Structure 1
Amino acid sequence: MSDTLESTQPLETTTVDIPANPLGLNTGGGSISNVSPNLSAADLPDWAKQATDILAELPAYLGQIYKNNKSAVITLGLFFGIIVGVKLTLAILSAINEIPLLAPTFELVGIGYTSWFVYRYLLQASTRKELTDEIDSFKSEVLGQKNGNA
């Protein structure tokens, strides 16, 4: 039963002197010191000087990039605009889909129009020819006349 060690000697204690303000914090009675907002360039650290220089030159730099790569910047802008448009369209469709009875109504309208289109244009050869003629005339209006058949 002597598994635990019991000591009859007193424990040693060590005394450490801690200064009243070990971190050097300002504890001067709650007074607020005035800070001058006007710093000179010599007062700023090196990284702040570099950041200030970069931010000062940024508008001219971006203007030069746009001037040199105008078509690429416009293409990127259109690309991001298309992405935003698709996201917005999907959000609107999702909101419409949540309205009761509206989504099934749109499905019925779509099925009805598809059925009419197949009956009107795709069942007979003469109506298929009419459809291809309409598509060709639309393409010639949008893209211009073909020069080879003139």
Structure 2
Amino acid sequence: METMEPRFPQTDTPKIEVTVQETDSAFLAKLPPADEASAQWQEYWDQFLSYLSKLPDYLGDFFGEYQKPLITIGLIAGGFVTVKVTLAVLDALDDVPLLSPFFELVGIGYSGWFVWRYLLKASNRQELGEEVKVLKNQVFGGNSQKI
């Protein structure tokens, strides 16, 4: 192997000695901050960390105190999302070319059957009225009053 010659001539550079001393961390903790801004930031940081450490307690107390209203709000929001998703699915189904007319035919057919079964004869109308009363008693209770 050949040794390469330096491209630049070497000059005498002054040498600086650096000494590293071990410092006591307790001593450094007692030192005041370098300036007032860093002291304020340190104070804010300490407050933030103390609030952050108490956050689980705050959340537990909040949920314990407001459990029923939060459940109610959650159910309302869940119902709203369910309705929106259902409408989006129905809109997507409506965009399928032959599916929309098929659903219309099914609806017209069911409406025709309902009229034929329950609305043409007086005896069938009475039967429908009785079924509605039974359903109303099941939903509102045994002795439901007229509304």
What TM-score comes out, normalization by structure 2 length?
0.61
Of 70, 73, 82 in structure 1, the residue corresponding to residue 67 of structure 2 is 70
Query: Structure 1: how far apart are the matches of 2:45 and 2:65?
Result: 29
Q: How many residues align?
A: 108
Query: Structure 2: how far apart are the matches of 1:51 and 1:83?
Result: 36
Residue 84 (structure 2) pairs with residue 87 (structure 1) = yes
| Aligned-partner residue type, residue 109 of structure 2 | G
| SS of equivalent residue, structure 1 residue 104 | helix
Name the structure 2 match of 1:106: 103
Question: Would you say the 8 A contact 2:137–2:144 is kept in 1?
Answer: no
Q: How does 1:1-150 map to 2 (within 5 A)?
A: 45-146=42-143
Q: Which has the higher helix share?
A: 2
Q: 1:125 to 1:86 in 2, by over 3 A?
A: same
Q: 1:48 to 1:143 in 2, by over 3 A?
A: same
Cα-to-partner distance string for 1:13-52 (whole Å, 9 max, x where unaligned) = xxxxxxxxxxxxxxxxxxxxxxxxxxx9x97544443433
User: Among the aligned pairs, what percent are the same residue?
Assistant: 44
Query: Structure 2: how far apart are the matches of 1:128 and 1:146?
Result: 23
C-alpha displacement of 1:109: 0.3
Q: 1:126 to 1:65 in 2, by over 3 A?
A: same
For structure 2, list consecutive stretches of 5 or more residues without a partner in the other structure: 1-28
Which segments of structure 1 move beyond 6 Å, counting only runs of 4 or more?
none
Of 78-87 and 45-54, more deviation after overlay is shown by 45-54
What TM-score comes out, normalization by structure 1 length?
0.60
Query: Structure 2: how far apart are the matches of 1:53 and 1:125?
Result: 77
RMSD, aligned α-carbons: 2.6
| Aligned-partner residue type, residue 140 of structure 1 | N
For structure 1, list consecutive stretches of 5 or more residues without a partner in the other structure: 1-39
Query: Structure 2: how far apart are the matches of 1:100 and 1:147?
Result: 47
C-alpha displacement of 1:147: 7.9
